[in-house]
Chain A
Amino acid sequence: MSYRLLSVDKEEPGLKERNYLGLSDCSSVDSSTIPNVEKSNLNFKATELRLGLPESESPERETDFGLLSPRTLDEKLLFPLLPCKDNTSATTGHKNVVSGNKRGFADTWDEFSGLKGSVRPGGINMMLSPKVKDVLKDERSHAKGGGLNNAPAAKAQVVGWPPIRSYRKNTMASSTSKNTDEVDGKPGLGALFVKVSMDGAPYLRKVDLRTYTSYQQLSSALEKMFSCFTLGQYGLHGAQGRERMSEIKLKDLLHGSEFVLTYEDKDGDWMLVGDVPWEIFTETCQKLKIMKGSDSIGLGAVEKSKNKERV
Chain B
Amino acid sequence: MGLRLPSKVLEHILSFIDSNEDRNSVSLVCKSWFETERKTRKRVFVGNCYAVSPAAVAKRFPEMRSLTLKGKPHFADYNLVPDGWGGYAWPWIEAMAAKCPSLEEIRLKRMVVTDECLEKIAASFKDFEVLVLTSCEGFSTDGIAAIAATCRNLRVLELRECIVEDLGGDWLSYFPETSTSLVSLDFSCLDSEVKISDLERLVSRSPNLKSLKLNPAVTLDGLVSLLRRAPQLTELGTGSFAFQLKPEAFSKLSEAFSNCKQLQSLSGLWDVLPEYLPALYSVCPGLTSLNLSYATVRMPDLVELLRRCSKLQKLWVMDLIEDKGLEAVASYCKELRELRVFPSAPDLDEANIPLTEQGLVVVSKGCRKLESVLYFCVQFTNAALLTIARKRPNLKCFRLCVIEPFAPDYKTNEPLDKGFKAIAEGCKDLRRLSVSGLLSDKAFKYIGKHAKKVRMLSIAFAGDSDLMLHHLLSGCESLKKLEIRDCPFGDTALLEHAAKLETMRSLWMSSCFVSFGACKILSKKMPRLNVEVIDEHPPETRPESSPVERIYIYRTVAGPRMDTPEFVWTIHKNPEIGVSHLAIK
Contacts and interface: CB of A to CB of B under 8 A. Distances in A.
Nearest to A196: B349
A172 B487 CA distance: 30
Given A162-B403, A168-B342, A103 B83 contact: yes
Chain A interface size range? 35 or more
Contact of B294 (A101, A137, A171): A171
B485 interface: yes
A221 to B, nearest CB: 10
Given A3-B407, A124-B491, A172-B346, A184 B163 contact: no
Nearest to B566: A78
B270 A1 contact: no
Interface stretch (B29-37, B230-238, B363-371, B544-552): B544-552
A254 B566 CA distance: 51
Interface string A153-186: 0010011111111111101110110110001111
B182 interface: no
Contact of B163 (A98, A162, A183): A98
A159 B542 contact: no
B19 interface: no
B540 interface: no
Contacts of A158: 405, 486
Given A104-B82, A125-B546, 19 more contacts: A1-B379, A63-B549, A68-B549, A112-B511, A121-B464, A122-B490, A123-B513, A125-B547, A148-B356, A155-B349, A161-B405, A162-B376, A164-B78, A167-B135, A175-B294, A178-B271, A188-B271, A189-B274, A208-B350
Main secondary structure of the interface of B (DSSP, over half): loop
B137 A98 contact: yes
Contacts of B546: 20-21, 67, 124-125
Contact of B545 (A42, A125, A167): A125
Contacts of B580: none
A259 interface: no
Interface of A: 1, 3, 20-22, 42, 44, 63, 65, 67-68, 75, 78, 81-82, 86, 98-99, 101-109, 112, 115-116, 118-125, 136-137, 140-141, 144, 147-149, 151-152, 155, 158-169, 171-173, 175-176, 178-179, 183-186, 188-191, 193, 203-208
B348 A155 contact: yes
B165 interface: yes
B164 interface: yes
Contacts of A191: 296, 344
26 contacts: A1-B407, A67-B547, A78-B536, A86-B79, A98-B165, A99-B165, A102-B163, A103-B79, A112-B511, A123-B513, A124-B490, A125-B513, A144-B410, A147-B410, A162-B348, A163-B77, A166-B77, A167-B161, A175-B294, A175-B296, A183-B243, A183-B244, A184-B244, A188-B271, A190-B272, A204-B349
B352 A1 contact: no
A42 B342 contact: no
Main secondary structure of the interface of A (DSSP, over half): loop
Interface of B: 75, 77-84, 135, 137-138, 140, 161, 163-165, 189, 240, 242-244, 270-275, 293-294, 296-297, 342-352, 354, 356, 376, 378-379, 401, 403-408, 410, 413, 458, 460-461, 464-465, 485-491, 511, 513, 515, 535-537, 542-543, 545-547, 549, 566-567
A204 B549 contact: no
A20 B242 CA distance: 56
Contacts of B163: 98-99, 101-102, 167
Contacts of B535: 67
Contacts of B511: 112, 116
A82 B83 contact: yes
A160 B490 contact: no
B384 to A, nearest CB: 14
Contacts of B347: 204, 206
B173 to A, nearest CB: 22
Contact of B406 (A119, A165, A176): A119
Contact of A189 (B75, B140, B273, B465): B273
Contact of A152 (B378, B401, B515): B378
A21 B80 contact: no
B270 A175 contact: yes
B454 to A, nearest CB: 18
B488 A121 contact: yes
B378 A148 contact: yes
B273 A205 contact: no
Nearest to B74: A163
B161 A165 contact: yes
Contacts of A147: 410
Nearest to A101: B163
A248 B161 CA distance: 48
A98 B164 contact: yes
Given A65-B549, A190-B296, A102 B83 contact: yes
Contacts of B296: 175-176, 179, 190-191
Contacts of A102: 83, 137, 163
A180 to B, nearest CB: 11
B77 A21 contact: no
A3 B406 contact: yes
A95 to B, nearest CB: 9
